[in-house]
A and B are shown apart, each in its own frame.
Chain A
């Protein structure tokens, strides 16, 4: 690589770097400073852990994100491996339908949850017919959980399928001939082989459930998750410093989880789709 090339490469990276520094790094640094400039000073950053109201919403946000991640991985893992292992008529259509909601925005997903579990939704209609009782779950934490599940399943199934296709069938064959039953083969062969993909996809699920807020915004403003608290602090209370401090803490946790998952899975996975 000669000198001329080096200059040209630097020039190619420059525009993206400039935009990134000017519109992302500098604003974030400013936000950080503002977070410490409110009436509480720098202790605003500790408020999320000290003040029960904020701590409670942080705990419920993390709990929701964890539950979403576990449920998504279980459902997508089972369906993804199944779809890779078996060929049957209509399989391609099924895959296409399972990945259709990929990249639906959070607000639309909120509306899909209302369609399922809202006041005039499908599930209340069915339970009304079966048990004479309407199960309306959309406008609560359960609705949000269902929404994030809806959001995360399509992309996770794609990741699992891509990874499951690379599993060498001979390893499982060997395990079978050594007398391993189906459950042991899942535990000792399939799950370890899918580990990096599950970590990668799980990190994205978790990050989405932590930071997204379109779904919560559509379902109910009363749901007490951290993004909603930040939005309320900013718009209704006009408490910019507290909103800044809270969103910084939220961003730091999310980023740390992504980084941890990346080092655990041993590859640069980050946000794939």
Chain B
């Protein structure tokens, strides 16, 4: 790129910086508000960690439950999604394309509809309605397409057929090829998909608001509760706790999805 700095460059830079401010200023404000003694007075009232501590004692269980669901959700999407992606990558016909299309539906259909469907179908099944597993079902449906697509994208960029043909001619069986050749080669896709699944599960609200019960409040449900009923410092401190958990995941996600093609250049 030539270092030609025209007026248009500065105008566009200013515009982009304004967009950036739009996105980042509220994050910074809420982080500051969560540590301000009295937000109405402003930061002159002094900085404190009291709000964060209050949130931690009152809402710790929501953090624990959300992490538990996110990890269980990751395990489910790995077991269900990676093999499914492999099948879709190996066979390309009308049937697998239809399967691919169907698998994306839980993302296209609003979470409210999926949650309602689950409630009217399984709401009466013993204790399932009151269990955290009910939320898990919704999260798995919603995140599975992301795992499948992420793994599928990497599988499409490597020549699986040739690799497997080579292994097969050397006498490797199906399981040996799947675990020895396929999985190691799609590692970048599996890592990116996993980070995506955990991040989405931690933040899922559209379905969870209907699926949860007073016994199973997740982090976003607790956040909504705090925003609605508590003072702005508490809501901000709670958001701060959420950021501390999620932002490292997001940064890792950015890293994992940036350098492409490492799987291909083996």
Contacts and interface: CB of A to CB of B under 8 A. Distances in A.
Interface string A134-159: 00000000000000001001100000
Interface in A27-48: 27-28, 30-31, 34
A211 B250 contact: no
Interface string A73-95: 00100110011011110000010
Interface in A78-137: 78-79, 82-83, 85-88, 94, 96-108, 110-116, 120, 122
Nearest to A23: B137
B174 A4 contact: yes
B15 interface: yes
Contacts, number: 251
A116 B27 CA distance: 10
Interface stretch (B46-54, B107-115, B183-191): B107-115
A31 B242 CA distance: 34
B256 interface: no
A178 interface: no
A48 B65 CA distance: 37
B26 A213 contact: no
A218 B13 contact: no
Interface string B100-132: 101111111111111011101110000000000
A250 to B, nearest CB: 6
A120 B232 contact: yes
Contact of B27 (A78, A112, A244, A268): A112
B112 A271 contact: no
B67 interface: no
B206 A213 contact: yes
Contact of A79 (B16, B140, B236): B16
Interface string A232-257: 00100000100110011011001100
Given A79-B15, A97-B20, A15 B79 contact: yes
Taking each of A23, A98, A207, A244, which has the highest tally of chain B beta carbons within 10 Å of its own beta carbon? A23
A27 B117 contact: yes
Nearest to A18: B80
Contact of B26 (A12, A103, A116): A116
Size range of the chain A interface in the assembly: 35 or more
Contacts of A12: 83-84, 86-87
Contact of B174 (A8, A28, A107): A8
B83 A13 contact: yes
Of B108, B148, B149, most A-chain CB atoms within 10 Å: B108
Contacts of A122: 25-26, 29
B223 A111 contact: yes
Main secondary structure of the interface of B (DSSP, over half): helix
A34 B120 contact: yes
Contacts of B104: 258, 270-271
A13 B105 contact: no
A216 to B, nearest CB: 11
A16 B81 contact: yes
Given A108-B223, A120-B232, A122-B26, A96 B84 contact: no
Contacts of A113: 26
B112 A100 contact: no
A20 B108 CA distance: 14
A17 interface: yes
Contact of B141 (A4, A23, A111, A212): A23
B108 to A, nearest CB: 5
B179 interface: no
Contacts of B105: 24, 255
Interface string B56-95: 0000000000000000000000011101101100110000
A133 B108 CA distance: 41
Contact of B30 (A8, A112, A244): A112
B83 A15 contact: yes
Nearest to B79: A15
Contact of A248 (B79, B113, B149, B251): B113
A85 B17 CA distance: 16
Interface string B1-12: 100000011001
19 contacts: A13-B83, A17-B99, A20-B102, A20-B141, A24-B141, A30-B121, A75-B19, A82-B16, A99-B254, A100-B27, A103-B199, A122-B25, A214-B209, A218-B228, A240-B116, A240-B120, A247-B116, A248-B113, A270-B108
Given A20-B102, A103-B199, 8 more contacts: A100-B23, A105-B223, A107-B224, A182-B8, A218-B224, A270-B104, A270-B149, A271-B145
Q: Which 8 A-B pairs have the closest CB atoms?
A: A211-B110, A105-B203, A27-B117, A247-B113, A12-B83, A112-B26, A115-B26, A16-B84
